[in-house]
Structure 1
C-alpha cells in the first residue's frame, strides 16, 4: 500500500509550479511597519498585516489532482491623515486541477473567487471572480520553469497579469531559487541542517470597497512590494519552519470614487484610466514580520520507499 501511495504523493509536485520536493500545506504570518508620516502632513501611521494560507490537494489518479486553497489576508492602517484606522480584508478561494500532461509537462488550472472589502455591510458586490492557467516544464529534480496568465475582476475593473515561474536547486541542495513572477521570489541558502538564510520579495495587488459614515462611496487600490531578508529555523523534524523577517516595504494605497473605473489593467499598464484620485497614502517603511509554515517533505517519503 505504501509503495502505491508514494508515487501518487509525488504527483502533487506540479502544484508548486516548479520541481521542488515539498508542499507548504499551511502558513501564517504577522507583520508591522514602523510609523511613517503622510506626505505633506505631520500625522503618522503604521501598517499591520496578517495572512494565513491553507492548501488541500487530493490525488484523483495518476493524471489529475484536485486542488483547494483558502487564503485570508488583512491590512490595518490609516488611509487618511487624522482618521480612524481602516481594516481591509480579503478571503480567497482557489479551486481547480493540476494535470500531468507528460513526463516533463504539467498544467495548473484554477478558478479564483474572492471577497475583498472592509467587511462592513458586506454584500455580493464585494465578490470578485478570477482564473489562472499555467503550463510548467520540469527538466529534472533541480530545475523547472513555467508560464501562464492570471485574470481577475477588481473594484477598479479587469486586471490581467502574465506569469513566469522558475525553480532551481543546487545539486547539494544547499542553494535554492523559487520565483512566481511578478508576485514573489525567494533566494535562500542552507547554513546548517536546520537553519537557512534568504532574501525574498512579495508583491501585493488588490482592491477593497470601503464604507464611510455607513455609505459605500469609495474603493482602495493597493499595490505594494515587500523586500525582506530572513533567518529560518526548522523544528519538529523539519515539519515546522519559523522565520524572522526584516526588510523594507513600498506601500501604495490609492482611494477613488466607487463609480470610477479603468478599461483594463495589464501589470502596471492602465488603459482608459480617467479616474479622479481622492488621496494617495504612500508609506515606504522598514518592516518586521514573523512567519510559521507547516511543510510536507515529499523527498523524505521518497528516501524511505
Structure 2
C-alpha cells in the first residue's frame, strides 16, 4: 500500500524514465597506487557518492524533478604536498519533465552546485549547470534522445552535446542506456542477478585552499569504464553492485584565474594554462554500490527521462 501511494503521488505513469526509479543510491570506490607521471610516487584514491531523487507529479503532462547529489574524493594531488586533499561536490537538482505527445517529451534540469575542499566556503565554490534533453519514442522498446549539458567551471565554460538512446528488449532482459559522451550502460538481467558494463566521463572543477597560500583549483575529468555484477533483494527493490574498472584519474591543479577559453566535450580551446602538479596515471578501481529502487508494474514500456 505504501508503494502504491508513493506511485500515485510522486510518479506520473506517462513521464517516468523507465519502469522504476532509483530513489536512493550510494557508492564507494577505491583505487590503490595510482602513480604520478615521471616519479616513483603514487596515491590511493577514495571516492564516495550519494544521490536522492524525488520526482513529483504536477499534472498529467508535467513532473517536477528534485533531488541532491553528493560526492567526495580523497587523494594526494602532488607528491610535493604535505597531506592528502579531500574535494567535495554537492549538486541540487531542480527541473521539469514535460510530455507533449505520445512520442515527444523533454527534460530540463537546473544544477546549482558547490564544489571545493569545503575549508572556507566562498563565491568561488559555486558553479551552475543545466541539462536539457528532448526524447523521441520510436517504439515500445526504443527511445532516442538528444540535447545539451553545460556548466560554468573554474577553468571556464564547459558544454557538450548529448546523443543517446534507451533500448529494452521485448523479454526485458537486455538493456542499453546511453547518453554519450557522458554515460553509457549495457546489461543483461537474469532473475535476481544482472551483469553489465558501464562508462562515465564528465568534467568538474573544485576550489581548494588547504595546500598553499595561492588559491588553486582542481580540473577533474576522469574517464571511467567498468564491468559489474548486481544482486537483487526484496523483489529487486534493493540492489547491491560490485564493480571492477579502470579510471584515467585526471586531476590537474591550476592557479585560480588560469583559465582556458572554453571546453566542448573532450576538446579544450585556448588552453594555455600552467599545470602545477604531475599527471596522475590511470589505475584499476573497485566500487561497491547500494540502490533502493521502486518498480512500477505496467502493461507496456514507458518513455525514458
TM-score by length of 2: 0.91
1:9 pairs, out of 7, 12, 15, with: 12
- Tell me how far apart the structure 2 counterparts of residues 12 and 103 of structure 1 sit (CA, whole Å): 10
1:82: Cα distance to partner? 4.6
Distance 1:233 1:58 in 2: 28
1:293 to 291, 294, 303: 291
Change (3 A) 1:301 1:280: farther
Which is worse superposed, 211-220 or 132-141? 211-220
Match of 2:39?
Answer: 41
Residue 179 (str. 1) matches residue 182 (str. 2): no
Alpha-carbon distance, 1:11 to partner: 2.9
Question: Are residues 101 and 149 of structure 1, via their aligned partners in 2, closer, same or farther at CA, if it must alter by over 3 Å?
Answer: same
How far residue 113 of structure 1 moved from its aligned partner, in angstroms, is 0.5
Structure 2 match to 1:79: 77
Q: Residues 241-256 of structure 1 correspond to what in structure 2 (within 5 A)?
A: 241-256=239-254
Segments of 5+ residues of structure 2 without an aligned counterpart are: none
| Preserved contact between residue 107 and residue 136 of structure 1 (Cα < 8 Å) | yes
Q: 5 Å matches for 1:59-208?
A: 59-83=57-81, 84-191=83-190, 193-208=191-206
After TM superposition, give the deviation of residue 34 of structure 1 in Å. 2.0
- Deviation at residue 280 of structure 1 after TM alignment: 3.5
In structure 2, the residue matched to 1:282 is 280
> How many equivalent residue pairs?
297
Between structures 1 and 2, the one with greater strand share: 1
Aligned residue for 1:55? 53
Deviations along 1:190-247, one digit per CA (max 9) or x if unpaired, are 23x1011111111142101111456352111011011111110100121111001111
Any conservation in 2 of the 1:131–1:152 contact (CA below 8 Å)? yes
Cα deviation per residue 1:174-198 (whole Å; 9 max; x = unaligned)? 111111211111111123x101111
| Whole-angstrom distance in 2 between the partners of 1:214 and 1:289 | 32
Please state how far the C-alpha of 1:301 moved relative to its aligned partner.
9.0
Which structure 1 segments of 5+ residues have no match? none
Residue-by-residue CA offset, 1:101-132 (whole Å, 9 max, x unaligned): 11111000111110001111111221101212
